[in-house]
A and B are shown apart, each in its own frame.
Chain A
Amino acid sequence: MRPELSEYPFDWMLWRSLISASRLKHGSEKEYQSALRYIPYFKGVVNTIYNMGSPGQKFLKIIETYVERIVTAKENNRKVAMTTFCFSPALLHAMDIVPVSLEPMTVLGSVMWKRGCLDYMDFCTDIGFSETGCSSQRGSMGAYLARAASEIDFIVIDSAGVCDTNSNAFSFAATYLNKPFYGLNYPATLIDDQTKHYHRDDYRNMITFLETHTGKKLDIDRLREVLNQHAKQDALIHEIEELQMLVPNPMPVTYNFLIYAGRFFFSGVSLYTELLEEMLEIVKQNAKQGKSGLTGGQEKLRAFFIYIDHYSLDLKLWTLLDQRGISHLGNILSRGFSAKAPYIKYVQNHGYQIDTSTLDSMIDSITEINARMPMVRSIRGPYDLPHMWLEESAALAKLLKADCCVYNGTPGCRNTWSNVKLIANDLEKHGFPTHIMYGDAFDERVESWEITSTRLEEFFTIRGLL
């Protein structure tokens, strides 16, 4: 790793960048424009976020707060848990534990810095981690392994049985850093009694682990507060999702990103609720006027991403979609599968319920929320079985009136690269032209954004979609 990168902690640098970004608009427009000249590699993402209007500014505040909590955790006597995007942070917030979710942190580095998180990725390889492991973890994980970031206290994840590459990365980190480790493990099925019992036992055992390592009991009032907030967030998201089905889609192209990123950072925390409220207002206004959420106002195409997005510098994927008049209908990260979700009856109607009546019912609720997190729900078993990836993707694409589907991931994803060709064929049979992107969502050395975007545009052109 370049020595200068070890000089300042990774998360501290992110935090300072975010503070600076959130202050840019404090002055006049002229001052803002002048300031952009001095941040040639940062202005792209800053502009993209500010162009989202008030939700953009709120989102900046959210990520700034998230990273600030990590950086200041020790001085505030709070324990820090390294975790993964597909683990609902709601429980950690309820237990006053500061989560460091590696993949979203890698995204921040990738979209904000020209250097991305590449040096940290390489550090992982330097110390023996497999270079073919998923870049989403390798990015920020490298900084924590290099001790070029805040110290974490323990690791808690939920990807065993769902994504080996993910589990393996965290289990490597636990060994390397000599930190306590807890991994939830999921069976291949979602809703049978045996699985439900297993979910409950494993999740409760994890709570015991967290209580042991924090020295604090789970606070029932706090958990109720978090779950109530979670239910409120769900309701707001469902309303947005309902409107997203309209043609044209009134939702601005970047809002999907804000929805899932917000969920990964602050599920159950009021900051995220406020963001959703603002977003809903804008989507509602657009819907009322029959307007597309795209900047150009004209929706030419509706694309459903069956896996994840591409997180190159400046959020270029979203800029491309916006410029070409393509609505982003969400991806595997977007949806939570609550029992009240507008799409739930199309995916065999097995959503989670939030019941805050007793401690037991609350733990059961959060257990089932977690069991439906992205990946955890739909790639735990064979992709073509009920409740799994194909059923979910085909149902959502149909419901959202998608014109096409796009797969993007990372070469480190053994799970989806083992069956993406199969699901692409199946989606084609369902009538959705489907494109497989071969790049790496977090590492442009695998394939530059220029090539990735050219291939994506070729797909739109050759299949007669645009």
Chain B
Amino acid sequence: MIDIFLNAARTIEPNAVSEEKQHGKLVVGYTCSYLPAEILHAAHIIPMRLRGIETHSLEIADSYYGPFICTFPKCLLQLASQGSYHFLDGAIISTGCDGMRRLDECWRKAGSDYHGSLPSFFHYFDVPHKRESYAISWFIEEIRKLIQHLKTHFNVKITDDAIRQSIQLYNHGRRLMFELDSLRHTEQVRISGAHAFAVSVAGTILPRELFTEQLALFLNHVKNTNTIMGKNQKRLMVVGSVNDDLELIELIEQCGAIVVSEHLCFGIRNEDDLVNETGDPVAALADRYLSNSACPRMFGYFSERLNLVKEKIQKAHVHGVIMQNIRFCDLHGSENGLMEHALEALGIPCMRIEREYGSLTETGRIKMRIQAFLERIES
């Protein structure tokens, strides 16, 4: 039952997406959790959060990006340029952070060097860094521009009713995800951190109807399982920058801990609140996505993020927090520094890991550090 989620989380082009594609469905990739995927869904397009897994070299990306840049956007560029994203009908680049927003130019330039690597629909999506009323108005305009561009380019209809229906479907999926997450908070954990994380990542990849349907079944299965895990194991939380790599979570769990909560760029942190299902659906989306200050790209909201993490620590009875960030991610790198001080002051052990994005190129080093961290918690 978990297989469909694992397949989605472990591959660039999951089977379920390929099948839909064969039936003529359009797929548009996007780079940041601040993109309201409901808009694409309302246009009968599969929204797919872009990921850099399956990258084996950065030889193309390094010739566009400079050396002091996070490896995540570089991996995306590498995959796009080498044709791994051939199945995309479009891509939306958001202003998640400076490195990510410059993927716009790098991809466009690579597109002219590597024929066919640039999807015909390519959109720059500006997202405010604050949430005052005038920022929300700006964001509403950005969403409307996106809607207009999608309509014109793909000759699709995106009605308010369709957006409302998409919001309802997404909200339903969010509720299921909360429920699954809450099952990790109990003393007797019924799902591993790696599997729970696979579900979260798959939520950004799979066609939403399929995801929701499968999640409901999986949730039922987990509720009724007799398998209990995490007994006498240290309960950890993983926070920080972009990570869609199941292997990191698996590695932590192989070291003898269980991951019971996350607050990562991918995953449950972006699903923490629901979109208002009444009123103007575009305004509702703008309000919900911008009021989500879970990412340090929203400057000046550290205390809210800290409170959110503290709340999760309490709910999930966390013994220690692993804070990871990709090298050159200054936003999460600094945030982790502040958070470490604040949490350690409360007696919550923390460990910071700076690493490269990708399929655990540094497994040995990271494993040793996790083991040392667990020893510290034990003592």
Residue numbers of A with Cβ under 8 A of B are 127-134, 160-161, 163-165, 167-172, 174-176, 181-183, 185, 187-189, 194, 197-198, 201-202, 205, 381-384, 411-422, 438
- One of B73, B98, B141, B325 near A164 (C-beta < 8 A): B98
Would you call A160 and B328 a contact (CB within 8 A)? Answer: no
* CB proximity of A128 to chain B, nearest CB, Å: 2
* Stretch binding the partner chain, chosen from B196-204, B263-271, B331-339: B331-339
Q: When A160-B130, A185-B135 are in contact, do A174 and B65 touch as well, CB less than 8 Å?
A: no
Would you call B68 and A168 a contact (CB within 8 A)? Answer: no
- One of B65, B95, B99, B328 near A188 (C-beta < 8 A): B95
How far apart sit A130 and B299, CA to CA, in the bound complex (Å)? Answer: 15
How far apart sit A60 and B296, CA to CA, in the bound complex (Å)? Answer: 39
In the complex, whether B109 has a CB less than 8 A from a CB of chain A is yes
Cβ of A411: which chain B residues have Cβ within 8 Å of it? 67-68
* CB proximity of B333 to chain A, nearest CB, Å: 3
Q: When A130-B334, A164-B330, A384-B105 are in contact, do A417 and B67 touch as well, CB less than 8 Å?
A: yes
How far apart sit A188 and B95, CA to CA, in the bound complex (Å)? Answer: 9
- One of B67, B124, B130 near A382 (C-beta < 8 A): B124
How far apart sit A418 and B334, CA to CA, in the bound complex (Å)? Answer: 20
Cβ of B130: which chain A residues have Cβ within 8 Å of it? 160, 183, 185
Would you call A418 and B296 a contact (CB within 8 A)? Answer: no
Would you call A165 and B337 a contact (CB within 8 A)? Answer: no
**Which among B129, B325, B328, B336 has the highest number of chain A CB atoms within 10 Å?**
B129
Residues of B128-142 whose CB lies within 8 A of A: 128-130, 132, 134-135, 137-138, 141
Cβ of A197: which chain B residues have Cβ within 8 Å of it? 134
- One of B98, B102, B109, B138 near A165 (C-beta < 8 A): B98
Would you call A132 and B64 a contact (CB within 8 A)? Answer: no
* CB proximity of A418 to chain B, nearest CB, Å: 3
In the complex, whether B63 has a CB less than 8 A from a CB of chain A is yes
In the complex, what residue of chain B is closest to A205 when comparing beta carbons? B132
- One of A174, A176, A194 near B300 (C-beta < 8 A): A174
Q: When A412-B330, A418-B102, A422-B64 are in contact, do A130 and B337 touch as well, CB less than 8 Å?
A: yes
In the complex, what residue of chain B is closest to A129 when comparing beta carbons? B334
Cβ of A421: which chain B residues have Cβ within 8 Å of it? 63-66
- One of A167, A175, A183, A382 near B104 (C-beta < 8 A): A382
Residues of B321-379 whose CB lies within 8 A of A: 325, 327-331, 333-334, 336-338, 340-341
Report the number of A-B residue pairs with Cβ-Cβ less than 8 Å.
Answer: 147
Would you call B65 and A383 a contact (CB within 8 A)? Answer: no
- One of B66, B297, B330 near A130 (C-beta < 8 A): B330
How far apart sit A161 and B102, CA to CA, in the bound complex (Å)? Answer: 12
The 6 closest A-B pairs by CB, nearest first: A128-B337, A130-B333, A418-B102, A417-B66, A201-B134, A160-B129
Would you call A418 and B129 a contact (CB within 8 A)? Answer: no
Q: When A183-B130, A185-B128, A421-B63 are in contact, do A164 and B69 touch as well, CB less than 8 Å?
A: no
How far apart sit A189 and B134, CA to CA, in the bound complex (Å)? Answer: 16
How far apart sit A8 and B29, CA to CA, in the bound complex (Å)? Answer: 54
Would you call B129 and A420 a contact (CB within 8 A)? Answer: no
How far apart sit A413 and B325, CA to CA, in the bound complex (Å)? Answer: 18
Cβ of A416: which chain B residues have Cβ within 8 Å of it? 66
* CB proximity of A421 to chain B, nearest CB, Å: 6
Would you call A161 and B128 a contact (CB within 8 A)? Answer: yes
- One of A132, A202, A417, A419 near B327 (C-beta < 8 A): A132
B55-95 CB contact bits vs A (8 Å, 1 = yes)?
A: 00000000111111110010000000000000000000001
Would you call A161 and B129 a contact (CB within 8 A)? Answer: yes
Q: When A132-B327, A133-B333, A168-B330 are in contact, do A417 and B69 touch as well, CB less than 8 Å?
A: yes
Would you call A171 and B109 a contact (CB within 8 A)? Answer: no
* CB proximity of B272 to chain A, nearest CB, Å: 21
* CB proximity of A414 to chain B, nearest CB, Å: 4
Cβ of B296: which chain A residues have Cβ within 8 Å of it? 168, 171
In the complex, what residue of chain B is closest to A202 when comparing beta carbons? B134
Would you call B68 and A417 a contact (CB within 8 A)? Answer: yes
- One of B64, B68, B327 near A412 (C-beta < 8 A): B68
In the complex, what residue of chain B is closest to A388 when comparing beta carbons? B105
Cβ of B128: which chain A residues have Cβ within 8 Å of it? 161, 185, 187
Would you call B299 and A160 a contact (CB within 8 A)? Answer: yes
How far apart sit A416 and B329, CA to CA, in the bound complex (Å)? Answer: 15
How far apart sit A415 and B97, CA to CA, in the bound complex (Å)? Answer: 9
How far apart sit A421 and B102, CA to CA, in the bound complex (Å)? Answer: 12
Residues of B94-137 whose CB lies within 8 A of A: 95, 97-99, 102, 104-106, 109, 124, 126, 128-130, 132, 134-135, 137
* CB proximity of A171 to chain B, nearest CB, Å: 4
Cβ of B99: which chain A residues have Cβ within 8 Å of it? 414, 418
Cβ of B297: which chain A residues have Cβ within 8 Å of it? 164
* CB proximity of A142 to chain B, nearest CB, Å: 13
How far apart sit A175 and B335, CA to CA, in the bound complex (Å)? Answer: 10
Give 16 pairs: A residue, B residue, CB < 8 Å, sorted on A: A132-B328, A161-B95, A161-B126, A170-B299, A172-B337, A183-B299, A185-B130, A187-B126, A201-B132, A382-B104, A383-B105, A412-B330, A413-B68, A414-B69, A422-B106, A422-B109
